[in-house]
Amino acid sequence: MKSQHSHGMRFGLRPVWAAAAVAVVWAGGSVQPAGAWTSLDGTMEVHGFGDNTTYQRAHSAGLSKERFRGQLEFSKVFEPVGIFSELSLHGTFRAVYDAVYDVNADDWGDEAGTAVTADSSAFGPGSPIAGVPALFGGSRRSAWGASPVNAASPLGAALNPAIPMTGFGFNATDPTAPFYNPNIGLRQVSGNLASNNNDGQFGGGLEFFTPVRPCNVDPRGCLDGYLDYDEDDLRFPEFRDDHRWLREIYLDATVPMQTGELNFRVGRQQVVWGRTDLFRVLDQINPIDFSIQNIYEEFEDSRIPLGIFSAEYRLGATGMFDDLNFQFIWNFESFKPNELGQGGTPYSILGAGDLFRALANCWENGCTVANFAATPVGNLATDFPRHTIGIRQADVPDGHDQFGIRLEGVFKSVGFSFNALYYYSQLPSLRGLEFGERNPFLPTGVPTSLTGIPPFLFPQAETGGDEIPRQYIPAFDIAFPRVLLIGTSADFYVEEAFGVPVKSAFRVELAHTNGEEFADTSNPRLYSKSRMMRWVVGWDRPTFIRALNQNRSFLLSMQMFGEHMLDHKEIHTGFGTVGHPNWKDDFIFTFLFQGFYMNDRVQPRVVTAYDVRARAGVVGPQVDWLISDNWQLIVGANMKFGHALNTFGDGRDSNPFNPFTAEACPPKAVGNTFPIDASVQGCRVGFEPLGRFRSGPLGMAQNEDELQLLLRYRF
């Protein structure tokens, strides 16, 4: 295990104030009596908590969280004014300091990462050129910036003298030259999965490498305005530029009507349209901060509040309905996407933050990618120059034009809702660039006419360094497309059915979206839109298990999530499968088992989830002990199991730089000691980067098992 040491207090003015805010909440809690503070006239109430969260990750990763958090909530009721019969103000303030970036800086802070090497499967056992690695220190792995496919490589002319490799390579050695991209502070993307993505099992699949230190320490791969956090932003996430310390502040006002009442809620708030756990179907208004703890943080704490205007017409009981409400919402605050976790941080859902930072570094500075270049005997690590592959920028919309309407009511004891939401996708889309990329086979300034290759073989004449539009190039802009969601829900209680006691509550949600974008290797720009159907069926039942507890029932709760991709593409060609890496249909099951002991002060529970298509799951045992009216202790674990390494074609067999690249994978050579087929050579086969969409958040979090401890003081 790496050392976990302190680097001292190197905070600027903003972090000092942030740390002080945490201390104030803790200090306030230490002298308050149990229960909330209420003013003498009863119109104002203040309460809150302070807690410490410590997570220890297995598999030699050390501490993954050492968080100190304070939260203060208040509500103030005012006298009726004018047309308003009820008027109140509500607020929530939160301060967080995550010390993991200081006490475990070797893994997550300013000393994280190391030097890396990239694999070339062509140098593997049985290869006709297995002896060639002697040119690279006797190993099939070459250092960052010194791969076989590089302008300075001794292998270029030996493999194919007709194609000079003088356009490949980047500056990994000269700190005085522009775009310095050294072999320090790096980590293999999704290396925590121990994928061995370079052996015969994956045919020499791709490996990417990401800078992992905070952006003020190492700016490589930090996209302006998106996942570009410095060390203080990571330590004190509530005190970033969007002022998340002001978690909620909104005004509630009610106007009585001839029939019912009209309620307005204006300000930064959470608007909840769904009732699911772990995964969401209808609850898409507020984005989620997955960087807190992937999908496992309670939505109440992980939702990112937004400035929203909400108007709700509450009719109450009317006609055939026991209750009926109409709601309109407008998000007037700037757009905020889901927080996916920046590259190099403990929690990066789907490993997306690591991949994005790796690709952004590739575009800006160049990079080494393992096993990218195909040869008849396997794949070679490749040093790409800048502006060839990667992510150029993130186009984040303003987001002041997101709207929703909802009809909610109760009919014969069945709660129901109909929902419509027009919003920007909170998940990013990678769109292939339209303006162009450079051809790495051409040295800067050298035209195609000087290559010695017949001109008729080139799709178009160009000069080295030109950035022209090409197809099937993994070079992207990040976008957040417009999405229209139409959905419905129902919840009801069943006492018995066909004479059999059921005694259960059921809830159902169904949503259809139009406008979402997904990776698509059959499309020249490597993405396409698809309509989606998502649904969930939930079941809750209190059940006595006398052998475990004579006096209190246990809560049993199960959810079944489903997803169907209506415009799914899966095209089987002679060279592999292309299309959407996402499953056409996927199903996830969750189950909660919770008990209650010692007057409900001790609550053991087990939560588990399983992704059917990814063949991956998680189980989380936990004990919640309410020590007193003020003190609470939670001890638990989060353990993953199953299959993580789902593979999908990665497009290396496309032909973006004709005539330097070719389309086809060679057929299998019978009797060859080094079989040449797609499964071994790696054509369209690999875990990175698209297999992550098949593994999902459960599969991609394998080897992130944790022991978890939370101590909280409420006041």
Q: For residue range 315-327, what is the model confidence (pLDDT) as tens digits?
A: 999 999 999 999 9
In terms of pLDDT, which residue wins out, 191 or 524?
524
What's the chain's average pLDDT? 85
Query: How many other C-beta atoms can be found within 10 angstroms of the C-beta atom of residue 205?
Result: 27
Instruction: Round to whole Å and give the CA distance between 211 and 220.
Output: 6
pLDDT for 129 = 55
For residue 334, which amino acid is it?
S
H/E element, 534 = strand 532-543
Q: If phi over 0 gives left and psi between -120 and 50 gives alpha, with beta otherwise, what is residue 651?
A: left
pLDDT for 165 = 56
- Prior bond to 604 cis, omega within 30? no
Name the least confident of 140-149, 235-244, 656-665.
656-665
Q: How confident is the model at residue 197 (pLDDT cuts 50, 70, 90)?
A: very low
Instruction: Round to whole Å and give the CA distance between 579 and 556.
Output: 40
pLDDT digits (tens, 9 = 90+) for 394-406: 999 998 899 999 9
Phi and psi (nearest 5°) for 399?
80, 15
pLDDT for 77 = 97
Q: How confident is the model at residue 199 (pLDDT cuts 50, 70, 90)?
A: very low
Residue 124: which residues within 8 A CB-CB, separation 6 or more?
130, 140, 199, 200, 204, 378, 674
Contact 93, 71 (CB under 8 A): yes
Number of residues that make up the chain: 715
Query: How many other C-beta atoms can be found within 10 angstroms of the C-beta atom of residue 137?
Result: 11
CA-based nearest residue to 639, from 588, 705, 540, 703: 705
Instruction: Round to whole Å and give the CA distance between 208 and 687.
Output: 11
Residues 433-456: what's their mean pLDDT?
83
pLDDT for 121 = 76
**Beta strand pairing call for 475-479 and 390-394:** parallel
Q: Vertex 533, ends 528 and 539: CA angle to 5°? A: 145
CA-based nearest residue to 713, from 640, 653, 632: 632
Evaluate the CA torsion angle 76, 80, 82, 86 in order and state its sign.
positive
3-state secondary structure of 395: coil
Residue 356 has pLDDT above 90, yes or no: yes
Residue 455, burial from CB neighbour count under 10 angstroms (0-12, 13-18, 19+) = exposed
Residue found under tokens 């003190």: 631
Residue 30 has pLDDT above 70, yes or no: no
Residue 513 has pLDDT above 80, yes or no: yes
Identify which of 9-13, 210-214, 441-445 has the greatest average pLDDT: 210-214
CA-based nearest residue to 406, from 319, 496, 511: 511
CA distances from 695 to 345, 353, 620, 635, 702 (A): 20, 16, 19, 28, 10
In terms of pLDDT, which residue wins out, 291 or 574?
291
pLDDT digits (tens, 9 = 90+) for 654-704: 767 776 776 445 443 333 333 333 333 334 446 677 778 888 899 888 888
Instruction: Round to whole Å and give the CA distance between 439 and 431.
Output: 19
Residues 147-171: what's their mean pLDDT?
70
Name the least confident of 389-393, 470-474, 485-489, 603-607.
470-474
Instruction: Enter the tokens of residue 80.
Output: 């009726």
Q: In this prediction, what percent of the chain has a pLDDT beyond 90?
A: 66
Phi and psi (nearest 5°) for 104?
-130, 55
Residue 555, burial from CB neighbour count under 10 angstroms (0-12, 13-18, 19+) = middle
pLDDT for 427 = 96
Residue 380 has pLDDT above 70, yes or no: yes
Q: Could you give the count of Cα atoms lying within 13 Å of 465 in the half-sphere of its Cβ?
A: 5
Instruction: Enter the tokens of residue 713.
Output: 């003081």
Q: How confident is the model at residue 305 (pLDDT cuts 50, 70, 90)?
A: very high
Residues 605-619: what's their mean pLDDT?
95
Residues 557-567: what's their mean pLDDT?
97
Residue 485 has pLDDT above 70, yes or no: yes
Instruction: Round to whole Å and give the CA distance between 165 and 429.
Output: 32
Name the least confident of 231-235, 539-543, 652-656.
652-656
Q: Is the pTM here over 0.85, yes or no? A: yes
Q: How confident is the model at residue 109 (pLDDT cuts 50, 70, 90)?
A: very high
